[in-house]
Structure 1
Amino acid sequence: MKKRFVLWTVILFPIYAYLVYLYLFHWTGTGVPASYQGTAADPATFMTAKELELSQDFSRYKDFLFFVGLPLEGLIYLGVLIFGVSPIFKQFGERLSRFSFVKIPIYVLLLSAFTWILTFPIYYAERMLSVAYGISTQSFSSWMRDELLGFWIGVLIMSVLITVLYWLMKRFTKRWWLYAWILLIPFLIFMMYIQPVVIDPLYNDFSELDDPVLQEKILNMADEADIPAERVYEVDMSEKTNAMNAYVNGIGSNLRIVLWDTTLNHLKDREVLFIMAHEIGHYVMNHLYYNLAGVIISSLVGLYLAYRLLHMVIRKWGSSWGVKNVADISSLPALFIILSLLSFAASPIELAISRDAEKAADMYAIEMTEDKEAAVGAFQELTVNGLTDVNPPALVKFFRYGHPTMMERILMLKEHGKE
């Protein structure tokens, strides 16, 4: 099995990477359809020739790294199982403690560190690409700090979840997936509640918006939409990126309206107001809660399918991997592979739903602001600033885009209100 794994990986992965290269760089075109050329959605009308060339190249390389990196974690987890590394991680934890609340987190730490190290080249290549094209302004030390912070936060959260999950597996052989789902619901709500005030500030500095006039206009819009916000937060992102963003997140008393300082630096106030109206639209139409409900429902289906598939996989290959049973922590890489495959299979549906929600938020924003010119200007500036491909290849949109393409968004706004 080891030789076959190495052989097939060495043969198939380069072929897959080459096919991705051909698709992105040779089999798909760039630009907009002829019928849209010369319109506000045509980047040639609002980007220089150099910006247009950079945006096309940047998008292709970025998408290439995404698709090439997509199967890497799964291959690593499979290698960990086939080469017997998983039982070694388990034994190391058992030598340190016999208690599950100690040995399972140790296993999670070892597996996470091993995977992080092997996938680091992809993340570093993405950073270097972003730096080379002027999107990222973050120093290497700052970037590494964020990466390590994300790693340790991920390990901490995952350790808790996996410890509880494997206790349920041992305690409830046939119903662990259901009880895990029941416990997951309050956890998701809790994370949604603390995200704006506990996790986000670990990465960036938040302060009250420095422009009182603009803040008052945004709060007036929020009040019109019955959003219980007393201030608008500005986050210092210019030391890390030239990209722009704004969002409304959190629930209850922890709800926050947030603007990146890069958005304030690059957009006119009218354009900022349109962007904020879009984010307010998500809140008014309860997209935050629909998204939470979607995660909860999909988690139920995912956990049940994982329960069925994990039993089949361990029954067939568990002995050759040194995995005693499903409740053996050594089975975790197999569970991760299954969940990753299920997530990948569901992603086109989730992204399609997200694109529909984003379209609805765009419509809400244009109706609230009644400023079509500012809306189009904002999207054009976002395109230039982020070197965005306004009309990406079909597979890129299908597997990557949670928003409509910039071409679709600008055309929709231009057509809004016409008979």
Structure 2
Amino acid sequence: MARKMGVFSILAFALYGLFFYWYLFHLSSSSLPFEYQGTSADPVTFMNGRELMLTEEYSKTRNLLFFLSSPWEWLFYILILLTGLNSCFKRWAEEATKRKIFRLPIYLFWLSFVGYLAALPLSYISYSLSKTYNISTQTFPSWMKDELIDFWLNYGLLLIIVPVLYFLLKKSPKRWWVFAWLLSVPFTLFMMFLQPVIIDPLYNDFYPLKNKELEAKILDLASKAHIPAKHVYEVNMAEKTNAMNAYVTGIGSNSRIVLWDTTLNKLTDDQILFIMAHEMGHYVEKHLYFGIAGYLLLSLLGLYLVHTLMQQVLAKWGREVKIPAASDYRSLPLILLLLSMLMFFSSPFSNVVSRYQEARADTYALNMTKNPGAGIGSFQQLTKAGLSQVNPPFLVKMFRYGHPTMLERISMLDEYEVKHRKD
């Protein structure tokens, strides 16, 4: 039975991959509707022929890798459960030490390490792709360093979360998901507080904005929006990427306005101010706090569904996957599998909310700066730097885009500019 389930899972993954290859490379189209051709949103007006060709090639391959990555993770967990490797991890932990307190950390290390090795090929292909198309400028040693930081951070989080999770599973098999969610609320807020000052600096160097004249303009904009910002930070990203970004991170006293140095190097001051006004729009409209509330509500539903689905899976296939009870920590791959699947299939709904908030922030930036030309220029430069499709296929937009498409964003600015030109 386990062998049949494993073969079926591999075939399902292969068919899924073939479907998305056919969809992205043959069925879907990123061409613009007739009414947008020749406008500021048309990439023909701001990209040359080679850039247009590279954008299509890069975007299609990158999107295919995205759609393969989550099912690849699911396949890994399924095979771990069906092949007996999961039980091997537990046996190795038991053989390594007589002290029970150390067995779970050893099991987690083996599960994390093998999972890291399984994910490494797709991660390397993605890195190599971005290098080939001159998106990434990162050296291989630097990339490996970031990968190892990811591994140890994830392992450290598991060491904190998993022992508490299995303590709750043993003490309250029917209500563990409620208590786990209650504990996740302060933990999530604490991690968001630490992110800018502890976690982010592990990957990149952050320092106050060197251009003090530009910083004064940004802080003046923040003052008009009643944002209590005292400093703007830039981050050294040019040694890793040619893409651009700006964002607001953290909560409370640790909140920061951050600009990538690539953004500073490639955009004019007016374009940067438009982008910063967009980020300030998120602050003014409290999108961060709505996002936290939405995430916590979804996590409550997700934990309940994990509890329900895990009981059903173990009742039907517990013997095949060698998990006698949910409280046995060999059930962890099953929990991670269910969480990953729920996150993937819920992403279109969370992306709808995110796109609405991003559109609101664009409108806020437009009303604040009254400079649609700067917004159009910045979005065109972002498109060129990231080799992004202006009008991505439907499924790509649904599953990948937390922002409106560039077609939608630039067209909104175009309409504003035309309307006020007439006025």
TM-score tier, shorter chain, comes to over 0.9
Q: Following TM superposition, by how much is the alpha carbon of 1:222 offset from its aligned partner in structure 2, in angstroms? A: 1.2
What are structure 2's unaligned runs of at least 5 residues? Answer: none
The question of 1:223 aligning with 2:216 is answered: no
Identity %: 49
The question of 1:271 aligning with 2:271 is answered: yes
Q: Following TM superposition, by how much is the alpha carbon of 1:16 offset from its aligned partner in structure 2, in angstroms? A: 2.2
| Alpha-carbon distance in 2 for matches of 1:64, 1:381 | 24
Distance 1:313 1:100, change over 3 A: farther
| Alpha-carbon distance in 2 for matches of 1:100, 1:291 | 39
Matches within 5 A, 1:65-80: 65-80=65-80
Letter in 1 for 2:302: G
Counterpart for residue 196 of structure 1: 196
Counterpart for residue 253 of structure 1: 253
Letter in 2 for 1:54: L
For the Cα contact (< 8 Å) 1:206–1:234, is it kept in 2? yes
Q: Which deviates the most, 310-319 or 404-413?
A: 310-319
Q: Following TM superposition, by how much is the alpha carbon of 1:100 offset from its aligned partner in structure 2, in angstroms? A: 5.5
Letter in 2 for 1:193: F
| Alpha-carbon distance in 1 for matches of 2:125, 2:42 | 30
- SS at structure 1 position matched to 2:40: coil
| Alpha-carbon distance in 2 for matches of 1:303, 1:189 | 18
Counterpart for residue 319 of structure 1: 319
Letter in 1 for 2:33: P
Counterpart for residue 232 of structure 1: 232
For the Cα contact (< 8 Å) 2:13–2:75, is it kept in 1? no
Number of residue equivalences: 419
| Alpha-carbon distance in 2 for matches of 1:95, 1:227 | 57
Counterpart for residue 158 of structure 1: 158
Counterpart for residue 103 of structure 2: 103
What are structure 1's unaligned runs of at least 5 residues? Answer: none
TM, length-normalised to structure 1 = 0.97
Counterpart for residue 297 of structure 1: 297
| Alpha-carbon distance in 2 for matches of 1:101, 1:410 | 57
Counterpart for residue 56 of structure 1: 56
Letter in 2 for 1:233: Y
Counterpart for residue 30 of structure 1: 30
Counterpart for residue 130 of structure 2: 130
TM, length-normalised to structure 2 = 0.96
Distance 1:227 1:25, change over 3 A: same
| Alpha-carbon distance in 1 for matches of 2:285, 2:95 | 53
For the Cα contact (< 8 Å) 1:31–1:42, is it kept in 2? no
- SS at structure 2 position matched to 1:416: helix
Counterpart for residue 388 of structure 1: 388
Counterpart for residue 112 of structure 1: 112
- SS at structure 2 position matched to 1:390: coil
Letter in 2 for 1:15: L
- SS at structure 2 position matched to 1:70: helix
Counterpart for residue 348 of structure 2: 348
Counterpart for residue 338 of structure 1: 338
Deviations 1:15-70 (A, max 9, x none): 32222111111111232111110000000011001111111111001001111222
Two-structure CA RMSD over aligned residues (Å): 1.3
Letter in 1 for 2:17: A
Q: Which deviates the most, 140-149 or 312-321?
A: 312-321
- SS at structure 2 position matched to 1:71: helix
- SS at structure 1 position matched to 2:240: coil
- SS at structure 1 position matched to 2:320: helix
For the Cα contact (< 8 Å) 1:31–1:43, is it kept in 2? no
The question of 1:378 aligning with 2:378 is answered: yes
| Alpha-carbon distance in 1 for matches of 2:403, 2:99 | 46
